Amino acid sequence: MAIDRIAVDLLGHAELDDDHQRLVDHLNSLANEIPDASYELCVQLFDALEQAATEHFAREEEILEGVGFPGLQSHRAYHAELIERIRQLRNLGWEMADKKLLFQRFVDMANFVVEDIIHGDMEFKEFLAAR
Ligand SMILES: [Fe+2]
Ligand SMILES: [Fe+2]
């Protein structure tokens, strides 16, 4: 059930790049742990991911607000949807859902997070660099 280690693209903004690396580290440890770890540990790891994602999104949105990024509203909505997906996964962990299902849903969510880092955030890369 393993997935390849997820790598992160650089945005060129030290603080946000560190955040992204941290998120990817959380995803990689979940990918390693979900198949064999206890549900209790899975829930803890989802909680840790939610906390890291919430902190990152708040920081990123504040920076984007500060520079007047025009796509902020839809990017904010995208972040909110991601947090919702992480919460749904945590709930699946609470409910002790089948591990194969949990892992599959995790992969879908991880793709969504990576999509945010690689494509969503790249939309403001040049905008930030020009400030
Ligand atoms: Fe981001
Ligand atoms: Fe983002």
Segment 52-70, tens digit of pLDDT: 999 999 999 999 999 999 9
pLDDT of residue 1: 45
**Length of the chain, in residues:** 131
Q: Residue 97 falls within a domain, yes or no?
A: yes
Which ligand is nearest to the Cα of residue 116, counting in written order? 2
How many angstroms separate the alpha carbon of residue 51 from the centre of ligand 1?
14
Q: Which residues contact 89 (CB under 8 A, 6 or more apart)?
A: 46, 102, 105, 106, 109
How many angstroms separate the alpha carbon of residue 70 from the centre of ligand 1?
16
Q: Residue 6 falls within a domain, yes or no?
A: no
Q: Residue 1 falls within a domain, yes or no?
A: no
How many angstroms separate the alpha carbon of residue 16 from the centre of ligand 1?
6
Q: How confident is the model at residue 86 (pLDDT cuts 50, 70, 90)?
A: very high
Task: Assess whether pLDDT exceeds 80 at residue 5.
Answer: no
* Mean predicted confidence (pLDDT) in 8-27: 87
How many angstroms separate the alpha carbon of residue 20 from the centre of ligand 2?
9
Containing domain of residue 114, as a range?
14-129
Contact between 48 and 26 under an 8 Å Cβ cutoff? The reply is: yes
Task: Assess whether pLDDT exceeds 60 at residue 2.
Answer: no
Task: Assess whether pLDDT exceeds 80 at residue 129.
Answer: yes
Structural domains of the chain, count? 1
Q: Residue 3 falls within a domain, yes or no?
A: no
Phi, psi at 38, each rounded to 5°: -70, 160
CATH of the domain at 114: 1.20.120.50
Per-residue CA distances from 81 to 12, 57, 98, 127 (Å)? 25, 11, 23, 23
pLDDT of residue 9: 66
How many angstroms separate the alpha carbon of residue 98 from the centre of ligand 1?
30
Q: Residue 71 falls within a domain, yes or no?
A: yes
